[in-house]
Amino acid sequence: MRRWSGLPALLLTSFVIVRPAAAGQTPPSDPSGTEAEGRGDSTAPSAARTDAAEAAGPSPAEAAGPESSEDATDASATAAPGDATDRATGSSPEPAAPSAEPPATTPALPEPVPPEPEPPDGDDVRPARHVELGATVGVWSRPAQGNGDVSYSAGPAWGGYARIDVRSWLGLRALVLGGTHPVSPSTGALGPASDTRVRQDDLAVTVMSLHAEPSLTPLPRLRLWLGLGTGWGTIVAAAPEARGEDIRSARRTGVLVEISASLGGSYEIIPDWLTASLTLSGGLPVEQSGDIFRSVQALRQDPAATTIEYYEPLPEFAGTLSGVIAIGLLL
């Protein structure tokens, strides 16, 4: 029976073609007829394929169930049109031809180099000056302690210094000052007897000190500072003399240690080369010792005999005041 399943369709097609020819008419060219004929011709292969499918049994997709069918439907829906065309024609897709030219690449740019700063004008260049050497001269005073029988007057002072800039705001100053203090004893003071008038030469004092000076520079050529320091010094007193009498003695010496504070300022007369400065300072002695502050032996020579007598000690210093000016050279 299956062998004759395509026979009715073949007879129907022959009837449609023969009927117009029998009436003496030329059948119009109908593409649908050709399509129908093509469909009629494809019926037999379709039936053959159907029989082969039934004989082979269910396909793997049908055996997997409806879910697998839905997955297959989705996969076919998402497939690219080009894949469907390739499957319909039975041809494999042609590989894309490689590009003849390689893709253009942008060359790496070198890192920009910052421009070098322009050197300042010659007038603005200031050499680095960190050392100052100079000479100083002024006056200082060291009043005497005690009841006023012996007084010390202010005297001249002179010396030199070296200043080093440890920081832009801090300097260290090493100072050496020497000078004299006139001595004025009253009648009977210092002598072996109450009516002896003693003549005492000026005291020679030399002090070496070190000062730390925090500085301020309100103007490029002006510097102000406040200093704090300590010093060690020597005192020399010549042998005293008794007026009208032959009383001989010896020279006496002593030492002192003092702390001091100072206030000063300097101005560059010649920029970066020469400075002028003024310093005011005051201090207190913390230690004083030596023969100068003790009684000293003396010999009284008379025509009849030579006797031993003693000169009285000199009074200690009560403090120190000084004012000096200096000229310095910047190195």
Residue type for 56, please? A
- Mention every residue, 6+ apart, whose C-beta is less than 8 A from residue 253: 234, 235, 236, 237, 290, 291, 292
pLDDT of 146: 84
Among 236-245, 260-269, 322-331, the minimum mean pLDDT is found in: 236-245
Per-residue tokens: 214: 């925090």
Q: What are the boundaries of each domain within the chain?
A: 129-330
Residue 213: burial class (beta carbons within 10 Å; 0-12, 13-18, 19+):
buried
pLDDT tens figures, 17-55? 444 444 444 444 444 444 434 344 444 444 444 444 444
> Mean pLDDT, the chain, as a whole number?
76
Query: What phi and psi, each to the nearest 5 degrees, are found at residue 295?
Result: -70, 145
Spatial distance between the Cα atoms of 95 and 97, rounded to a whole number of angstroms:
6
pTM as predicted: 0.61
Residue 192 confidence (pLDDT)? 79
The domain defined by 129-330 folds into Porin (2.40.160)
Looking at residue 301, its amino acid is: Q
Q: Token pair 């072996």 is at which residue?
A: 192
Q: What confidence score (pLDDT) does residue 248 get?
A: 84
**What is the distance between the alpha carbons of residues 266 and 276, in angstroms, rounded to a whole number?**
6
Residue 7 confidence class, pLDDT cut points 50, 70, 90: low
pLDDT score of 86 more than 50: no
